[in-house]
Structure 1
Amino acid sequence: MRLFNTMLFLTCSLFAVAVVNTTQAQETETQYPRVKAVRLDFKGFQAVSDQYVLGNIQLREGMDYSQTLVDQSLRALYKTNYFEFVEVKVEGDPKDEVVVVFELVCKYLIQQIRFNGNEEYSDSRLAAKTELETNQALDEYQVSLAADAIKEYYVDKGYPDIEVDYRLIRDDETGYATVNFDIDEGGKVKINRISFKGNASFKDKRLRKVLETKKASWISWLTGTGKFSEVKFKEDLELLRQFYRNEGFLDVVVDENLVEFDFKTEKKVRITITVDEGQRYYLGDMSVLDATIYTEDELLRQVQIAPDDAFSPESVDEAATAIREHYTSQGYLETRVRAERVPNMDSRRIDIVFRVRESEKYYVESIKVEGNTKSKSRVIVRELALRPGDVFDLKRMETSENRLKNTNYFEDVILSPETTNVPGRKDLGVAVREGRTGNFSFGAGFGSVESAVFFVELSQANFDLFNWRSGFQGDGQKFRFRASIGTSSNQIVISFEEPWLFEQRLAFGVELFRSESDYNSTEYNELRTGFEIYLRRRLFELVEARLSYRLELVDIFDVAGDSDTIDPNDGVPDTFEAAEGEEVVSKVGLTFLRDTRDNLLFTRKGNRSSILSEVAGLGGDVNYYRLEGRMAHFIPTFDTLEQSFSIVARTGTISPYGQSKEVPFYDRYYLGGPESLRGFEYRDIGPRDSDTRSDEAIGGNTYGLVSFEYLFRIAEPLGLVVFYDWGFVNSDDYDFSPSDYGDNWGIGARILLMGSPLKLDFGIPITTPDGADDGAQFNFSFGTRF
């Protein structure tokens, strides 16, 4: 047996050697012809240079001929989009030398793009819609798409009868072509009225709210309403059908062919939509089948519908979802609920049977995080409302997903349960995609108070103070550096915040600042230098508390008068002259804040309320305590133009104590300017110094402010407001007498520029307090008033 194996091995070895020798011999015999030349043969005109073509060909003179290189060259030439047809021919002896011939048929180049018949829109505007350019290879398919784009643009602008054709004029000698777009605009049509027929159950006004198509109005030039679009109108008819079905009219018919278009003039049309409502159906009895974990009554309490309600398919689906969410919130993740409908056509009642397929209960086995290339895993895990061992609650999983999205660290966040090998256990999978959290910006800003300001700002929302290798990123801390210099102020601010101190939901922050300004008054300049440290924590619901300590050096300098020889006749308040120099302010503050606003820029509903208590005198040169309350409430009114009404109310008092006989004027209350009484100059509302001839306000210890504002959001980045402001400032603490008040009314605009709201307000005084200027004021500033 051993001898047989040895002979078999020798035989196989000899055969392998023979095969190798044969292969080498065949390779030696295979010879490729050499490329004698590469020749270009243009059929017709030549649109590109020889050098351009040769640059895309892989073969060269003197190389071995290779079919692979030929194929690569063909792909490269077609990819340039300059050739209609390319063919390769080989001439010569295939065993010696060959000439490789590339026969090329060039595409025409666009020499000119012309628009004919366009009266409403310029050639340049239409050219931007085509995405065609001169010297570009002519592609008739792209030209047809360009014609469609022009037509779509006209339809969107209110020209439903627009016709767009194209003509191509080719020059076979030069290889250039002219593209002509022939446009028949057909006249612009505005919708003058939208009415309905057959709508016995709902008024026209209610049905018009369902439609995206609106009639023209005096602000249509801003809102874009009043234009007829066939595509949008068909979608509106389907929205109308859905509305009726969800109101119980399951047999409703809205026939597109019965819509009437009555042209009042050539440019105005009245649209009448005919509705066949049919019969209305109502909910009958509701029951639950196959539920063993919860009772029928317990499950039906989760739904928002009841017998005798108008039957709504959408509401029934939502009811089934609510029952399923009751299960999934308790860990029964794979429970399914199907709503079965049992109609009774005689009574027009539809019974609902919720059929349940229950699953086992699941718990969280482990948390798996992936995709976090910068952020530490703990930054992600600490935001989760689920922990290993918890009941796997889908609602808490959704809450966790929203928390991670709200950090703004990630572009994408997806949380999902993942199967494990352990019965009754699932892993919580967390997949994230890192986003850009750092920001560097510089620029200029303008305001009616601070005039021109030039600034530079560096911020990092996912900062890591102790990890320079990662570029100081990944630990969820906040860092900000801002420096600005302007005509009336300059400022440097450095701030740092750790939102999870000791891995608890407790924020710790510190801010260093230096701020110099001369816009508070024409009589003095002010410089504040110092720091603030704070702790912030969410207490309950949406209420958070902030405890802070602030130490600052306040320097009042360049006072117009001479503080060494106070002169009541020099026109400068004695209060300013006496305060010239430096004072240290050391104070502790406690703030409670609740914010439920739906939008921080164009707010329509919600409330923002805060209460501040502050004590100065833990060291330092001044002693006072402050109590202040602020509230902003927003009420949506009409959906048209996203109208809303807001009320802003503020009040506060500040009192000296101990050795301090008065509160320093720079920490008192003033009104006037873009954030308070907008019909008066900045800080112009307040008590005056009775011992001097100055009209300069020196501030008061008690104030009150009420502001009413009505907003029309007429476009995505633009809102118009009408406002009324009322307020007072009194000298004494706890003096809330409104006897010497000021008020104003006005109009304004809110413009969203690069993510920041610009406020433009023109205020007109109604009642002017003693000493204040009674001229109208124009204010403009960035930010919100709240």
Structure 2
Amino acid sequence: MKAASKFLSAASAAALSAALVLPGALAVQFVATSVAEAAVVSRVEVSGNQRVDAETIRNYIAIKPGKAFSSADIDSAVKALFGTGLFSDVQINQVGSTLVVKVSEYKVVNQVLFQGNKKLKDNALQAAVQLKPRATFSQQALDADVEAVKAAYRRIGRDDAAVTTQIMDLGDNRVNVVFNINEGARTQIAAINFVGNSAFSSRRLSDVINTKRSSWLSFVLRDDVYDEDKLRADQELLRRFYYNHGYADFQVVSAVGELDEATNKYTVTITVQEGERYNFGDISVESTIPEVDSKSLESVVETHKGDVYNAKDVEDTIVALTEKVAGSGYAFAQVTPRGDRNFENHTISVVYTIDQGTKAYIERIEIRGNDRTRDYVIRREFDVSEGDAFNQVLIQRAKKRLEGLDYFQKVDISTVPGSAPDQVVLVVDVVEKSTGEFSVGAGYSTGGDTPGPSVEGSITERNFLGRGQYIKLSAGGGKNSRDYAISFTEPYFLGRRIAAGFDIYKSTREYNNHYDSDTTGATIRFGLPITDSISTQLAYNISQEKYKVDDSCLTNGTYIPGSPCTISPAILEGVEQSPWIKSSVSLGLVYNTIDDMKNPHEGLYVTGTTEVAGLGGDAKWVKLTGRASVYQTLSEQLDLVGLISGGAGHIAGYGNDGLRIFDQFQSTDRMIRGFEYGGIGPVDTNTGDHLGGTTYFNASAEAQFPLPAIPESFGLRGAVFADAATLYGSAIHTAGVTQSSTDMKLRASVGVGLMWASPFGPIRIDYAIPVKKEPTDDVQEFNFGIATRF
């Protein structure tokens, strides 16, 4: 104990160590006797305080002038003053009728400084330490901060970082705290070895875990840091992966990292025991609640006899049954699955038992660790609040939602007993992570409306001001294009789970040196989740499009057909109609069961949109578009993934104005590879300009696979594909335009592709050979650009 009260009870004196000399013991007993006899003081005097007001100190102790007190009151006063964290020493003495409280204040931190740090900026280290300017200084806090700085360096792979401290006394009870840092060398991961796996390749399992082998991209991705907490989380990822693929007996035997001090590299070895693969056996629902008919609940069960055992399907069924029963008035109902293994047939029969459950209510929700994110951003992800019935399924759903926000490194939800037997306290512990990104990228595209090199820079914040809002500013372009955009999204508009946002954009284009465009527009959008896999979006769009013939095609400011450019009258008509105002409203629906949006292996993604233009403005048309993509693992061992996708669209004008050429669909590499942008469909046979079409259909089949001898950490995968598409129909009736056939004619191509999950976004290179085309089509065998999956 740093301070000792001179007023101790007889019991306290008896407990003193026998090492005390007799005079000292007598002195303690004498003081205690004095207290017992002088139980009232006339005033309380405070000394030693410099920053803390004397009256504030008097308020912390329960002893008041003129009122009786005991030695226990003095013990409590000492503890109370120490408990404030403001004092390094406290002594209380009675001098006559005066109680003297003598304190020594902790020094105050004036500045916290870091020296020698290059890999971690000051603001990152300041967020890691407890000591802050104007905070009280203590050796205990300093020691903890030294460990926190070391831990911050371990998280970026610098295990050998050394930290020393220097305390600079500035006088007036103020100090500067200096952390001197030797960052040391960065560790790497030389190899990740899996032992005991046969059902899945080591490459496939490497895709599942977050720990990655070091590669030439690691300096950007920072995913090759060895971290024991991350490795423990990886074990859970592996368990979930195997459980979702039928291996209910799977175990991680061990997961260790060994450091080679000579090379400063880790070798990670994960030993697994896969067990047998199971299918679902008999599935049934039982209820101990008389009013609940178990037969009526079978329709929501998502596990089916004969299917490969999948733990996620079991969890989804528990959620569905719980919600169904709760909707019937049984808020405390609990659904418990019981699995019966048949080791001979390798099946698991599951019985879902519905019980009334123990009544418990949520007394309060405590949130800890959210230094930046507001409490309400976390609370709104819960479907329960204070006073509601406790429901473990809804709590787990909230945990998944919080993890899905990507605001936190870690989310833990636990319970502690409340103030009554039927009350519980939910404790939500989170660890914040960086949510801001600044990126600069460069690329080269062989397709699109403006091929060539391009650059782009953007600033993105997913948790703006800790309010959960999304904001992005971007600018970019190439030789013939410029793009600027601002996007903002409030995910909980008016406190409801409705995403509301807007986009403002401006773009300029130079098309084939024939004509230029300048488009300025804005979109207001609202998104609403209907279920966990279905969502809808309503949007209003308004834009102004300006077109002009390129100066290089003008003679003395006037376009003369054929000299020096030949431009279709349909294009000239569109140019002459500018500026063109488009005002439209769109409604879209999305169904998404993809397992991993960054690296899909299973699932279905379907989207459909209806857009109507004509709410004011010049454009009057109705556009229907839809697309579906199905992913299916073809070989677990080879990590071979199949993709079948298809799309369709149709646009039709109404009113007297009809459609412009710029309203019609143009073919893209997303519609069919092996052809130029706008390279298929009806053509002005006089000028060779493609006019686009009013209807399109396309389909594609693709197999994706890892590249042999290429480490998985490089993010490279190969593909073989076959595409088919048609673009037909035309609403162009411009005088002087002679169109080729507008009938539906199929095009097809086959090819190979290379996909790279780069730090700047997914990039893809395709080589496609048309195997069915028309004489007027424009072929482009190579295509390079930003990849889009959905």
TM-score band by shorter chain is 0.5 to 0.7
**2:200 and 2:472 mapped to 1: Cα distance?**
46
**2:470 and 2:248 mapped to 1: Cα distance?**
53
| CA deviations over 1:42-80 (Å, ceiling 9, x no partner) | xxxxxxxxxxxxxxxxxxxxxxxxxxxxxxxxxxxxxxx
- Deviation, 1:457, is 0.9
Give SS of 1:380's match. Answer: helix
What's the TM-score once normalised by structure 2's chain length?
0.55
Give SS of 2:487's match. Answer: strand
Structure 1, gaps ≥5 residues long: 1-11, 20-128, 133-148, 159-193, 195-206, 215-222, 225-234, 250-276, 278-282, 464-472
Q: How many residues align?
A: 517
Task: Say yes or no: does 1:477 pair with 2:469.
Answer: yes
What one-letter code is carried by the residue in structure 1 that aligns with 2:482? Answer: N
**2:285 and 2:628 mapped to 1: Cα distance?**
47
Q: 1:494 maps to what in 2?
A: 486
**1:667 and 1:353 mapped to 2: Cα distance?**
57
What one-letter code is carried by the residue in structure 2 that aligns with 1:505? Answer: R
Task: Say yes or no: does 1:621 pair with 2:618.
Answer: yes
Q: Please list, as runs of the form range in 1=range in 2, the aligned pairs for 1:493-642 lying within 5 A after superposition.
A: 493-518=485-510, 520-559=511-550, 561=553, 567=561, 571-580=566-575, 581-642=578-639
- Deviation, 1:701, is 1.3
User: Against the structure 1 CA distance between its residues 360 and 584, is the aligned structure 2 distance closer, same or farther, given a 3 Å change threshold?
Assistant: closer
What one-letter code is carried by the residue in structure 2 that aligns with 1:389? Answer: G
Q: 2:425 maps to what in 1?
A: 427
Q: 1:454 maps to what in 2?
A: 455
- Deviation, 1:361, is 2.3
**2:655 and 2:581 mapped to 1: Cα distance?**
16
Q: 1:396 aligns with which of 381, 394, 405?
A: 394
Q: Please list, as runs of the form range in 1=range in 2, the aligned pairs for 1:237-248 lying within 5 A after superposition.
A: none
Give SS of 1:509's match. Answer: strand
Q: 2:661 aligns with which of 660, 665, 671?
A: 665
User: Against the structure 1 CA distance between its residues 411 and 738, is the aligned structure 2 distance closer, same or farther, given a 3 Å change threshold?
Assistant: farther
Give SS of 1:680's match. Answer: coil
| CA deviations over 1:636-685 (Å, ceiling 9, x no partner) | 21112221221221111111221313x22223111143x22211112211
- Deviation, 1:448, is 2.0
Task: Say yes or no: does 1:699 pair with 2:701.
Answer: no
Q: 1:684–1:696: 8 Å Cα contact kept in structure 2? A: no
User: Against the structure 1 CA distance between its residues 565 and 292, is the aligned structure 2 distance closer, same or farther, given a 3 Å change threshold?
Assistant: closer
**1:633 and 1:481 mapped to 2: Cα distance?**
33
- Deviation, 1:213, is 11
Q: Please list, as runs of the form range in 1=range in 2, the aligned pairs for 1:158-557 lying within 5 A after superposition.
A: 209=199, 360-449=358-447, 450-463=451-464, 473-518=465-510, 520-557=511-548
Identical positions, percent: 24
**2:190 and 2:402 mapped to 1: Cα distance?**
40
Give SS of 1:640's match. Answer: coil
Q: 2:413–2:426: 8 Å Cα contact kept in structure 1? A: yes
User: Against the structure 1 CA distance between its residues 736 and 610, is the aligned structure 2 distance closer, same or farther, given a 3 Å change threshold?
Assistant: farther
- Deviation, 1:476, is 1.2
- Deviation, 1:746, is 0.3
**1:687 and 1:422 mapped to 2: Cα distance?**
76
Q: 1:743 maps to what in 2?
A: 748
Task: Say yes or no: does 1:650 pair with 2:647.
Answer: yes
Of the two, which has the highest radius of gyration? 1
The range that moved more, 743-752 or 553-562, is 553-562
| CA deviations over 1:324-363 (Å, ceiling 9, x no partner) | x9899978799999999999x9xxxx99999999973212
Give SS of 1:627's match. Answer: strand
Q: 1:52 maps to what in 2?
A: none
Q: 2:262 maps to what in 1?
A: none
Give SS of 1:405's match. Answer: helix
- Deviation, 1:727, is 1.0
What one-letter code is carried by the residue in structure 1 that aligns with 2:781? Answer: Q
- Deviation, 1:480, is 0.7
What one-letter code is carried by the residue in structure 2 that aligns with 1:742? Answer: R
What one-letter code is carried by the residue in structure 2 that aligns with 1:455? Answer: E
Give SS of 1:372's match. Answer: coil
Give SS of 2:377's match. Answer: helix
**2:340 and 2:626 mapped to 1: Cα distance?**
54
**1:537 and 1:356 mapped to 2: Cα distance?**
31
Q: 1:340–1:355: 8 Å Cα contact kept in structure 2? A: no
**1:624 and 1:338 mapped to 2: Cα distance?**
56
**1:296 and 1:380 mapped to 2: Cα distance?**
34
What one-letter code is carried by the residue in structure 1 that aligns with 2:199? Answer: K
**1:456 and 1:342 mapped to 2: Cα distance?**
57
What one-letter code is carried by the residue in structure 2 that aligns with 1:666? Answer: F
User: Against the structure 1 CA distance between its residues 331 and 748, is the aligned structure 2 distance closer, same or farther, given a 3 Å change threshold?
Assistant: same
**2:677 and 2:585 mapped to 1: Cα distance?**
28
- Larger relative contact order, structure 1 or 2 (CA cutoff 8 Å, min sep 6): 2
- Deviation, 1:688, is 1.1
Give SS of 2:503's match. Answer: strand
- Deviation, 1:557, is 2.3
| CA deviations over 1:96-141 (Å, ceiling 9, x no partner) | xxxxxxxxxxxxxxxxxxxxxxxxxxxxxxxxx9x99xxxxxxxxx
Structure 2, gaps ≥5 residues long: 1-22, 31-156, 161-186, 205-212, 215-234, 250-275, 733-739
Q: 1:492–1:514: 8 Å Cα contact kept in structure 2? A: yes
Give SS of 2:692's match. Answer: coil
**1:294 and 1:667 mapped to 2: Cα distance?**
62
What one-letter code is carried by the residue in structure 2 that aligns with 1:504? Answer: R
Q: 1:763 aligns with which of 755, 761, 768?
A: 768
User: Against the structure 1 CA distance between its residues 384 and 677, is the aligned structure 2 distance closer, same or farther, given a 3 Å change threshold?
Assistant: same
User: Against the structure 1 CA distance between its residues 524 and 368, is the aligned structure 2 distance closer, same or farther, given a 3 Å change threshold?
Assistant: same
- Deviation, 1:380, is 1.0
What one-letter code is carried by the residue in structure 2 that aligns with 1:456? Answer: G
Q: 2:762–2:786: 8 Å Cα contact kept in structure 1? A: yes
**2:700 and 2:341 mapped to 1: Cα distance?**
53
Q: 1:56 maps to what in 2?
A: none
What one-letter code is carried by the residue in structure 1 that aligns with 2:405? Answer: T
Task: Say yes or no: does 1:778 pair with 2:782.
Answer: yes
What one-letter code is carried by the residue in structure 1 that aligns with 2:428? Answer: V
User: Against the structure 1 CA distance between its residues 373 and 541, is the aligned structure 2 distance closer, same or farther, given a 3 Å change threshold?
Assistant: closer
**1:532 and 1:304 mapped to 2: Cα distance?**
38
Q: 1:116 maps to what in 2?
A: none
**1:211 and 1:476 mapped to 2: Cα distance?**
39
**1:354 and 1:706 mapped to 2: Cα distance?**
41
What one-letter code is carried by the residue in structure 1 that aligns with 2:567? Answer: V
User: Against the structure 1 CA distance between its residues 338 and 294, is the aligned structure 2 distance closer, same or farther, given a 3 Å change threshold?
Assistant: farther
Give SS of 1:398's match. Answer: helix
User: What is the RMSD of the two structures over their aligned residues, measured on CA atoms?
Assistant: 5.4
The range that moved more, 530-539 or 327-336, is 327-336
| CA deviations over 1:582-621 (Å, ceiling 9, x no partner) | 2221111111111211122332221111111112222222
| CA deviations over 1:499-529 (Å, ceiling 9, x no partner) | 11110111111111111122x5442222211
- Deviation, 1:287, is 14
- Deviation, 1:724, is 0.9
- Deviation, 1:390, is 2.5
User: Against the structure 1 CA distance between its residues 493 and 338, is the aligned structure 2 distance closer, same or farther, given a 3 Å change threshold?
Assistant: closer
Give SS of 1:689's match. Answer: coil
**2:342 and 2:694 mapped to 1: Cα distance?**
71
Give SS of 1:406's match. Answer: helix
**2:349 and 2:544 mapped to 1: Cα distance?**
75
Q: 1:545–1:590: 8 Å Cα contact kept in structure 2? A: yes
Q: 1:608–1:631: 8 Å Cα contact kept in structure 2? A: yes
Give SS of 2:638's match. Answer: helix
